[in-house]
Chain A
């Protein structure tokens, strides 16, 4: 598990999952009820303030944030883009 994935999983576990529910990497966080609209706002805030990745409005899509795998892929992509730039 990458450092990024561990941070994302820790954030979700501490804020939205009470107990030790398993969290599949590809499970939809919104459809499974882990995240509601407020939760999505908190997740994006966490990504911006704790992980230091700014999320423009046009990136706030399910394809970027609706599962652990997608969040990690999005963050890896943004980090790679900023290193390349």
Chain B
């Protein structure tokens, strides 16, 4: 194979992070002005993506025109709130604490999820914790079938393959979390005449790692074109606190700790970034095998997984479809 067909992490380097920051900040101001909004609101999770978007918004609008909404719920990591405040304080952004657990309880989020888990683990109940996991793409060519892993009050772990019905009900119940949070964000956006910022990075956006009408909803998504490696580079340039930059990515959605690889992605983010870059640039699976220490078969499975997730993401990305023609005056196109 010619040497140029192999890539490594250097392709993801941001040559000039400051220039990228300026471009995004300009784009944010331009877009929010076109929307006739006066600032920005976003949910803060204590993770790298929302911290970077908060910093970019503070740079674009001034911190006094940015509101960070803190929305922990029953299953959130105890660190979430502290790290969210750490990010807000670093950039001088005002925050508001919104407890969403009572709303989630009223909606039946937890009850519906637990009922669904009991379909495959009948003893599941109070005092148990759980998460949904997928087997590794790398270790085996088996289809990735969702299982629930649960820990009982004695600390014993139980695992069961989910039926399609139970899986769909668990996800549908859990998605109340993202949708409820977005509702609260839009409440503050309406109150302040602000725009809502979405915080997906490119991996999440491309691969459909979001809830439609939940964290997928926003007025502008300022880092959706950046690979996660690049988001980390921006975080450093923007001065995101070290503790947030060092925290491993998590879903912070289920009551047991759950890495993003367990639930969604085939590989840790840095390796996923490189694979996605290769797919984006029409390179074959063999282009990443050396850098990622994968066999051609393993790399091919990752590429197939990327393609499969893109097919699922198509529906998630789709705007409402109109079946007749309407005037174009009310539409916004790309900034």
Q: Which residues of A contact B (CB under 8 A)?
A: 30-31, 33, 36-38, 40-42, 44-45, 57-58, 60-62, 65
Q: Is the CB of B167 within 8 A of A30?
A: no
B168 touches A38 (CB 8 A): yes
Given contacts A37-B144, A62-B143, A65-B143, 15 further A-B contacts (CB under 8 A): A31-B304, A33-B311, A36-B312, A37-B145, A37-B146, A38-B168, A40-B145, A41-B162, A42-B164, A45-B163, A57-B145, A58-B142, A60-B142, A60-B145, A62-B141
List, in ascending order, chain A residues with CB within 8 A of B167's CB: 38, 41
B161 at the interface (CB under 8 A from A): yes
A61 to nearest B CB, angstroms? 5
- Interface residue B237 (Cβ < 8 Å from any Cβ of A): no
- 8 Å CB interface, B103-144 against A: 135, 141-144
CB atoms of A36 and B143 under 8 A apart: no
- Whole-angstrom distance between the alpha carbons of A65 and B143 in the complex? 9
Cβ-based interface call for B308 (8 A): yes
**How far does the Cβ of A40 sit from chain B's closest Cβ, in whole Å?**
5
Binding site for A on B (CB under 8 A): 135, 141-146, 161-164, 167-168, 304, 307-308, 311-312
Residue of chain B at shortest CB distance from A66 = B143
A42: B residues at CB distance < 8 A: 164
Contacts of A65 in B (CB 8 A): 143
Closest chain B CB from A20 CB (angstroms): 21
Residue in B closest to A33 when the chains form the complex, CB atoms: B311
Contacts of B144 in A (CB 8 A): 37
* Nearest Cβ on chain B to A29's Cβ, whole angstroms: 11
Q: How near does chain B come to A2, taking the closest CB pair, in angstroms?
A: 24
Q: Chain A contacts of B168 at CB under 8 A?
A: 38
- With contacts A60-B142, A62-B143 known, is A41 near B311, CB below 8 A? no
- B308-A37 in contact (CB<8A): yes
Cα A78 to Cα B135 with chains together (Å): 24
Contact between A40 and B143, CB atoms less than 8 A apart: yes
CA of A27 to CA of B311 in the docked complex: distance in angstroms?
17
The answer for the CA separation of A20 and B145 in the assembled complex, in Å, is 28
CA A23 – CA B142 in complex, angstroms? 23
A–B pairs, 24, beta carbons within 8 Å: A30-B304, A33-B311, A36-B308, A36-B312, A37-B144, A37-B145, A37-B312, A38-B167, A38-B168, A41-B146, A41-B162, A41-B164, A42-B164, A44-B143, A44-B145, A45-B163, A45-B164, A57-B135, A57-B145, A57-B161, A58-B142, A60-B142, A62-B141, A65-B143
CA distance A33 to B164 in the complex (A): 18
Residue of B nearest to A42 (CB): B164
Q: Which residues of B contact A33 (CB under 8 A)?
A: 311
Question: Which residues of chain A have C-beta atoms less than 8 A from B304's C-beta?
Answer: 30-31
Question: A14 to nearest B CB, angstroms?
Answer: 14
Bound: A4/B145 CA distance, A:
23
With a CB–CB cut-off of 8 A, which chain A residues contact B145? 37, 40-41, 44, 57, 60
| Contact A30–B142 (Cβ < 8 Å) | no
Nearest CB to that of A15 among chain B residues? B164
Closest 9 A/B residue pairs (Cβ): A42-B164, A40-B143, A60-B143, A41-B164, A60-B142, A61-B142, A33-B311, A36-B312, A45-B164
Give the chain A neighbours of B142 by CB distance below 8 A: 57-58, 60-61
A46-B307 Cα distance, complex, nearest whole Å: 25
